[in-house]
Structure 1
């Protein structure tokens, strides 16, 4: 079918969910200062429009990879993956599915652990995260789990089949791997500070 020119002309609009705000807190901060993505705990993160200062994923742009099959690998694109955010309860769920006792946020390159926001990974794109200290991050979307992060997890369980355990992360952490975000307003984020997630009005675009 053809869509109406204006939404008000439609006989029936899709279900619309009102926007809302959810309060949470930063429980842990981490950064990746080395040549790889695994991260280590820190007390604060200084962020600018390029992302976290000195972090492995910092930069206004990045090179495309397997997540962007519509571009030749290595194409320079906007870096919407400046900050990786996870939740402890979601990682615990994934760990149980993998039959291991834990997944440390630093093993998978997380920069931040947020508590108090249910189903963190399901926060929709465009959500804004307003931090008590003045920083604002804009959520791009889910951080899809990959075998490279799984390999880092597997290294911490040498008694397990490394390939099998690494690949199991892809399934176990689906929609529970956390989110990626980019810096909308720079500043410093401190461990323990409050954060407010502003979720915009949502709707499902109708099929044509």
Structure 2
């Protein structure tokens, strides 16, 4: 294997290991929308998606305001909304619940829009993964949804944790890399419960220059 070098003589790592692209399948186990001025969702039978997200949803919009997840911007800076859709998995919610000593955690409590079944380790699907829904809608994964204390406080409240601030602090640790994904709408349409999903995972590699 030939080693490439940078112009100033700094050696690059050998060619990285490439994990080939692959196709998976899944189904919609639940649909949820935040129709009030609050992030908590409620269960619905279908969701209508436009280029700016779910119609009437709390997170709808082509842009959003930056927060604690974007420390490189002043808080409140207008940026592109890559967090139009929140996606979770039943097995990961169950693991978070066990980590918090709760009987269960509902998707609504954490503001999820889609509950997807059939994808092992859903939270580890890489950025760029495409979700093709049988009805014609396409979503594109932006990345993992980092757990925060705001959702943790709601979980503590709904789950009956007496000290809500303790629950709020516990949630980010209990849900690390289990909180699901955020995605944006690449092709608008309607998604219905039990709809089949074709999942296309892109090639993957680790950049080590």
Q: Hey, what does 2:199 align to over in structure 1?
A: 197
Note if 1:23 corresponds to 2:64.
no
Q: Is the 8 A contact 2:4 2:14 kept in 1?
A: no
In 1, distance between residues paired with 2:43 and 2:71? 33
Q: Hey, what does 1:165 align to over in structure 2?
A: 167
Query: TM-score under structure 2 normalisation?
Result: 0.93
Deviation beyond 2 Å, 4+ runs, structure 1: 1-5, 157-160
Q: Hey, what does 2:152 align to over in structure 1?
A: 150
- Which of 73, 76, 94 matches 2:75? 73
Query: TM-score under structure 1 normalisation?
Result: 0.94
User: 1:131-168 CA deviation, whole Å, 9 max, x = no partner?
Assistant: 01000000000000000000101112445321111211
Assess, with a 3 A threshold, how the Cα gap between structure 1 residues 2 and 88 changes in structure 2: closer, same or farther. Answer: same
Note if 1:62 corresponds to 2:67.
no
Note if 1:100 corresponds to 2:108.
no
Assess, with a 3 A threshold, how the Cα gap between structure 1 residues 3 and 196 changes in structure 2: closer, same or farther. Answer: farther
Q: Hey, what does 2:55 align to over in structure 1?
A: 53
User: 1:78-101 CA deviation, whole Å, 9 max, x = no partner?
Assistant: 000000000010010010000111
Q: Is the 8 A contact 2:143 2:183 kept in 1?
A: yes
Superposed displacement of residue 4, structure 1: 5.3
User: 1:38-88 CA deviation, whole Å, 9 max, x = no partner?
Assistant: 000000000000000000000000000000000000000000000000001
Which stretch of structure 1 is more off in the superposition, 69-78 or 198-207?
A: 198-207
Assess, with a 3 A threshold, how the Cα gap between structure 1 residues 11 and 143 changes in structure 2: closer, same or farther. Answer: closer
Structure 1 residue runs of 5 or longer lacking an equivalent are none
In 2, distance between residues paired with 1:158 and 1:21? 40
In 2, distance between residues paired with 1:73 and 1:172? 26
CA RMSD of aligned residues (A): 1.6
In 1, distance between residues paired with 2:23 and 2:169? 35
Structure 2 residue runs of 5 or longer lacking an equivalent are none
